[in-house]
């Protein structure tokens, strides 16, 4: 019995000992708790440091995102101002060219801009400042420094905008837009941290359409009179007025366009895409002679229906009508003055006649080139628009060539033009900017038998330089057939991607390794017509031949970020 009790007591004691810790273990637990607290404190410190370390970058990223969008807003604000800088007449109406395109006003271009992204809450501090520099040449690679660097830089003043001239027109704008925001927490006053700036180049829509209208003067009186409509209405007569009346104040009645459809249009009536009013012969010009010409609605098609509105410049200062249908009677009829002496024309009407003085007109070059183009084998000059390269007096042995009013052939598309007006060369196969924008060396050929150069090689003559190829040298045609490869001296430059260097005909200079351009020289005249010369290549329209009417649409590109 005693033994059992002893055993039971022993088991009970052992169980109790399992649940009662050794007093020596209590210190270990305390140390573990302290260690755990130290570890957690360290971890908390690391986490806090990490969190605090991300606060500034987060604020910086947030501001940078805001300010880059603010810079883009500034860029858009500049574009809207560019597109809103249009010419207005005295009545506040938009001024357009003869094709209906609104004309820009460089004096309204801004020099700088500033604003808030959200004007209703300016306190948010997010806004933009924009500086704008204007150029006549592409500034894509120009410095974006505060002081623009020439070439081509055009100063801008407020008010007054930009001064744009024919020799230095405004073509490009370098736009630098800076986005701004509130100071970052803890940043010093004046800190630009987080601000971002963008730069881009805007190319203005630039039209080189020379058909803006010009005067038609009387040749026999040396320009003492001009043609002027009595009114800009259908049925109006056209009369000769003294040159003193042919002023800008009357341009709505005395500026004319000789268009690619062979019609002579009153320029003020073809704005905004309107068909306009055309000089029109009588329904049956053979019924009486002469008959008054009138203005009537310009007809587009078919050709037979507008036979009495088609006029060919045939030389001898004459616009000749087209004998396309029976009412013409098969008789040659022309615009005329009904005054053989060509004097005292004041108030006399423009007439259509088939005898007498079938000529006597001297259109200014702004009147237009009609349908003359590369397709009719003619070289249209763009300074003297309406004038084409011409073999002087139809004499292949002449020692100089001239720029002469472009002749026309509405019936046969140029096939019936006289040989001296047909100058053959080859355009590049690819006429977009790229490595194939030019073609040469090649020959420029006329054929005295009025055949194509390939059909009749024996009649070919090549354009060469008289003497050395230097600035001011005269050009002429060879006195023999064009067979020598040494006469392949011309390179046709089409579209380089930059209008100033495009649409030229060039040849190497005799010395110095430079290049010269075929050009007209208005200071050297033959019977009033400019001679053709070689000139140092420049951006002058005198050196552009068969250029397209419009070369650039409004566009923006070259975006880049330039810092804060």
**CATH number of the domain where residue 398 is located:** 2.80.10.50
92 within domain boundaries? yes
Reading the chain (564 residues) residue by residue, the pLDDT tens digits are: 455 567 777 767 766 665 555 555 556 777 777 887 888 877 777 776 665 555 556 666 676 777 778 888 888 888 888 888 877 766 666 666 544 567 778 888 999 998 887 766 555 678 898 999 998 887 876 655 555 566 788 888 888 888 877 667 788 889 998 888 777 666 666 666 768 888 888 888 766 544 468 899 888 777 788 999 999 999 999 999 998 888 766 788 999 999 888 899 998 888 767 889 999 987 765 566 788 899 999 998 766 678 888 888 877 788 888 754 444 444 567 888 766 555 678 888 998 887 555 567 888 888 888 889 999 999 999 888 889 999 999 999 999 999 998 988 776 767 778 899 999 999 988 766 677 789 989 999 999 999 999 998 999 999 999 999 999 999 999 977 888 888 899 999 998 877 778 899 999 999 877 899 999 999 999 988 899 999 999 888 899 999 876 544 556 666 777 766
393 within domain boundaries? yes
479 within domain boundaries? yes
Question: Chain-centre distance of CA 297, in angstroms?
Answer: 31
Task: Check whether residue 352 and residue 386 sit in a common domain.
Answer: no
7 within domain boundaries? no
Task: Check whether residue 335 and residue 253 sit in a common domain.
Answer: yes
Cβ neighbours of residue 415 closer than 8 Å, sequence gap 6 or more: 409
41 within domain boundaries? no
d(CA 389, CA 403): 5
d(CA 41, CA 60): 29
Instruction: Determine which helix (DSSP H) or strand (DSSP E) holds 320, and give its type and residue range.
Output: strand 319-321
Angle of CA points 390, 395, 400, to nearest 5°: 60
Task: Check whether residue 122 and residue 189 sit in a common domain.
Answer: yes
Contact in structure between 442 and 426 (CB atoms under 8 Å): yes
Task: Check whether residue 328 and residue 360 sit in a common domain.
Answer: yes
pLDDT score, position 250: 78
pLDDT score, position 560: 76
Strands 311-313 and 291-292, how do they pair?
A: unpaired
- Out of 159, 191, 207, pick the residue that ends a domain: 207
24 within domain boundaries? no
Q: What's the domain count of the chain? A: 3
- Supply the range of the domain harboring residue 488: 374-548
CA atoms within 13 A on the CB side of 383: 21
Instruction: Determine which helix (DSSP H) or strand (DSSP E) holds 239, and give its type and residue range.
Output: strand 238-242
Task: Check whether residue 317 and residue 407 sit in a common domain.
Answer: no
Cβ neighbours of residue 159 closer than 8 Å, sequence gap 6 or more: none
33 within domain boundaries? no
Task: Check whether residue 191 and residue 248 sit in a common domain.
Answer: no
Task: Check whether residue 348 and residue 379 sit in a common domain.
Answer: no
d(CA 69, CA 16): 76
Task: Check whether residue 339 and residue 389 sit in a common domain.
Answer: no
Specify the pTM: 0.63
pLDDT score, position 49: 63
Residue with tokens 């030229």: 504
pLDDT score, position 493: 94
Task: Check whether residue 346 and residue 414 sit in a common domain.
Answer: no
- Out of 326, 350, 368, pick the residue that ends a domain: 368
What single-letter DSSP state applies at residue 226? E
Task: Check whether residue 135 and residue 267 sit in a common domain.
Answer: no
- Out of 174, 207, 240, pick the residue that ends a domain: 207
Task: Check whether residue 226 and residue 193 sit in a common domain.
Answer: no
pLDDT score, position 98: 47
d(CA 404, CA 538): 22
**Does residue 65 sit in helix, strand or coil?**
helix
pLDDT score, position 142: 62
Residue with tokens 């055949």: 451
SS percent in the chain: helix, strand, coil, step 5: 25, 30, 45
Task: Check whether residue 398 and residue 510 sit in a common domain.
Answer: yes
d(CA 6, CA 95): 125
What single-letter DSSP state applies at residue 528? T
Contact in structure between 348 and 370 (CB atoms under 8 Å): no
d(CA 168, CA 521): 19
Q: How many CB atoms lie within 10 A of CB 334?
A: 26
Cβ neighbours of residue 243 closer than 8 Å, sequence gap 6 or more: 217, 223, 224, 225, 226
121 within domain boundaries? yes
Best CA proximity match to 333, nearest among 284, 261, 298: 284
């Amino acid at each position: 019995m005693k033994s059992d009790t002893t055993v039971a007591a022993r088991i009970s004691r052992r169980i109790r000992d399992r649940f009662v810790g050794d007093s020596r273990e209590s210190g270990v637990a305390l140390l573990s708790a302290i260690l755990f607290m130290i570890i957690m404190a360290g971890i908390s410190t690391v986490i806090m440091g990490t969190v605090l370390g991300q606060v500034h970058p987060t604020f910086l990223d947030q501001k940078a995102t805001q300010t880059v969008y603010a810079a883009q807003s500034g860029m858009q604000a500049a574009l809207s101002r560019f597109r809103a800088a249009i010419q207005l007449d005295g009545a506040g109406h938009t001024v357009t060219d003869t094709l209906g395109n609104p004309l820009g006003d460089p004096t309204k271009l801004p020099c700088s801009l500033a604003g808030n992204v959200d004007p209703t809450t300016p306190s948010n501090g997010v806004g933009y400042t924009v500086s704008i520099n204007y150029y006549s040449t592409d500034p894509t690679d120009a410095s974006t420094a505060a002081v623009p660097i020439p070439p081509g830089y055009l100063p801008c003043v407020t008010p007054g905008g930009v001064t744009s001239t024919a020799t230095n027109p405004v073509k490009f704008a370098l736009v630098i837009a800076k986005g701004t925001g509130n100071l970052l927490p803890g940043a010093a006053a004046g800190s630009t941290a987080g601000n971002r700036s963008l730069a881009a180049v805007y190319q203005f829509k630039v039209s080189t359409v020379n058909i803006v209208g010009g005067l038609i003067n009387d040749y026999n009186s040396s320009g003492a009179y001009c043609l002027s409509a009595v009114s800009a209405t259908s049925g109006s007569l056209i009369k000769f007025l003294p040159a003193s009346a042919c002023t800008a104040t009357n341009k709505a009645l005395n500026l004319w366009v000789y268009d690619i459809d062979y019609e002579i249009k009153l320029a003020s009536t073809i704005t905004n895409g309107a068909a306009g009013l055309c000089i029109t012969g009588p329904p049956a010009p053979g019924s009486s002679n002469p008959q008054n010409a009138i203005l009537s609605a310009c007809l587009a098609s078919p050709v037979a229906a507008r036979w009495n509105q088609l006029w060919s410049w045939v030389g001898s200062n004459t616009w000749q009508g087209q004998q396309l249908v029976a009412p013409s009677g098969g008789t040659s009829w022309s615009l005329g003055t009904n005054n053989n002496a060509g004097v005292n024309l004041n108030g006399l009407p423009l007439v259509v006649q088939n005898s007498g003085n079938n000529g006597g007109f001297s259109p200014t070059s702004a009147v237009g080139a009609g349908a003359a183009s590369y397709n009719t084998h003619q070289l249209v000059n763009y300074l003297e628009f309406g004038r084409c390269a011409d073999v002087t007096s139809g004499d292949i042995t002449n020692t100089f060539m001239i720029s002469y009013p472009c002749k026309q052939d509405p019936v046969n598309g140029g096939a019936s033009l006289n040989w001296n007006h047909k100058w053959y060369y080859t355009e590049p196969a690819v006429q977009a900017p790229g490595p194939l924008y030019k073609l040469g060396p090649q020959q420029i050929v006329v054929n005295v038998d009025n055949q194509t150069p390939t059909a009749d090689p024996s009649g070919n003559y090549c354009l060469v330089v008289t003497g050395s190829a230097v600035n001011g040298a005269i050009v002429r045609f060879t006195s023999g057939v064009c067979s020598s490869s040494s006469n392949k001296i011309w390179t046709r430059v089409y579209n380089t991607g930059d209008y100033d260097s495009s649409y030229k005909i060039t040849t190497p200079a005799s010395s110095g390794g430079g290049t010269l351009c075929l050009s007209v020289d208005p200071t050297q005249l033959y019977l009033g017509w400019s001679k053709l010369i070689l000139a140092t290549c420049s951006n002058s329209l005198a050196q552009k031949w068969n250029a397209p009417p419009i070369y650039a649409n409004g566009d923006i590109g070259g975006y880049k970020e330039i810092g804060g």
